[in-house]
């Protein structure tokens, strides 16, 4: 299984976004993680469609969009048209899960279900045959720079185990508090897409920091 690193631009210098994206490209980062927050689903507001469009124009990197919004179904077409390659939406949102998956797949991009720390692994099992990725939040969504919640490791393990049992090829992404100290544990639990914001953007050497997260494992 291949491992990927997805850099959360929530931790980037927004006034230098173009240069920050260049730095990601030069540091061999696999994906750009784009956190959309509406101030209702989570207690924070970030950026949205116009910024995504400009990011899309600036790079060929895979755009890994994480929607932390109340009604994702309403915005899937827009986010796909504005350049998303992968869309993660929350199962706790108000939209019907299967309808959102179908809307994303109709745009011929990758669909992913995100779950908050309090949401059990079992809640995504029935949807596994229809998605490309599961995003297990390893902090409460809303802010960068929080500490990893160790209790989420069991959930990563359970989701990966069920994917294996079903013989599917579904990526497991983790997001929140991922750094060189926590990466080995999430990889061992079965995560293969590691999101990181503050650790990567705070590193002296971003390429080395990214390598420390990605280290391929056999599984
Ligand atoms: C939190 C966001 C994360 C965040 C990760 O709600 O979904 O993507 O940017 O930031 P770090 O890596 O600093 O925890
Ligand atoms: Zn995120």
d(CA 217, CA 144): 27
Spot the catalytic one: 38, 64, 171, 175. 175
pLDDT band at 216 (very low <50, low <70, confident <90, very high): low
Least Cα distance to 103 among 128, 139, 72 occurs for: 72
d(CA 119, CA 117): 6
Instruction: Using the atom order of ligand 1, give the atom closest to the CA of residue 10.
Output: 9
d(CA 113, CA 88): 5
Ligand 1 centroid, distance to 27 Cα (angstroms): 19
pLDDT for 217 beyond 80 = no
pLDDT, residue 219, reads: 42
Least Cα distance to 176 among 11, 21, 3 occurs for: 11
Domains and CATH numbers, the chain: 4-213 (3.20.20.70)
60 classed as catalytic: no
Show the tokens assigned to 120: 């059990």
d(CA 154, CA 56): 35
Condensed to tens digits (0 to 9), the pLDDT of residues 137-174 reads 999 999 999 999 999 999 999 999 999 999 999 999 99
Q: Which ligand is nearest to the CA of 145?
A: 1
d(CA 213, CA 216): 9
DSSP secondary structure letters along 79-94:
HHHTT-SEEEEETTSS
Please give all residues whose beta carbon lies within 6 A of any atom in ligand 1, as ranges.
8, 10-11, 33, 35, 66, 139, 141-146, 175-178, 195-199
What percentage of the chain reaches a pLDDT higher than 70?
A: 98
Ligand 1 centroid, distance to 78 Cα (angstroms): 23
Alpha helix segments (H runs only) across 11-75:
17-26, 49-58
Ligand 1 centroid, distance to 34 Cα (angstroms): 10
Condensed to tens digits (0 to 9), the pLDDT of residues 47-72 reads 999 999 999 999 999 999 999 999 99
């Amino acid at each position: 299984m291949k491992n990927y690193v997805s850099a959360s631009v929530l931790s980037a210098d927004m006034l230098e976004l173009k240069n920050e994206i260049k730095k990601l490209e030069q540091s061999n980062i696999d994906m750009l993680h784009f956190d959309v927050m509406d101030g209702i689903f989570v207690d924070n507001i970030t950026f949205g469609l116009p910024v995504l469009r400009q990011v899309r124009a600036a790079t060929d990197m895979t755009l890994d969009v994480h929607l932390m919004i109340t009604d994702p179904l309403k915005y899937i077409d827009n986010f796909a048209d504005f350049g998303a390659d992968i869309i993660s939406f929350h199962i706790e949102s108000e939209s019907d899960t299967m309808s959102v998956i179908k809307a994303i797949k109709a745009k011929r991009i990758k669909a992913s279900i995100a779950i908050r720390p309090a949401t059990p692994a079992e809640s995504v099992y029935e949807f596994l045959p229809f998605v490309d990725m599961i995003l297990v939040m390893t902090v409460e969504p809303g802010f960068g720079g929080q500490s990893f919640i160790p209790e989420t490791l069991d959930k990563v393990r359970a989701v990966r185990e069920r994917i294996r049992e079903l013989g599917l090829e579904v990526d497991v992404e983790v997001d929140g508090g991922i750094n060189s100290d926590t990466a080995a544990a999430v990889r061992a639990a079965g995560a293969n897409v590691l999101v990181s914001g503050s650790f990567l953007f705070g590193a002296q050497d971003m390429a080395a920091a990214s390598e420390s997260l990605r280290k391929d494992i056999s599984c």
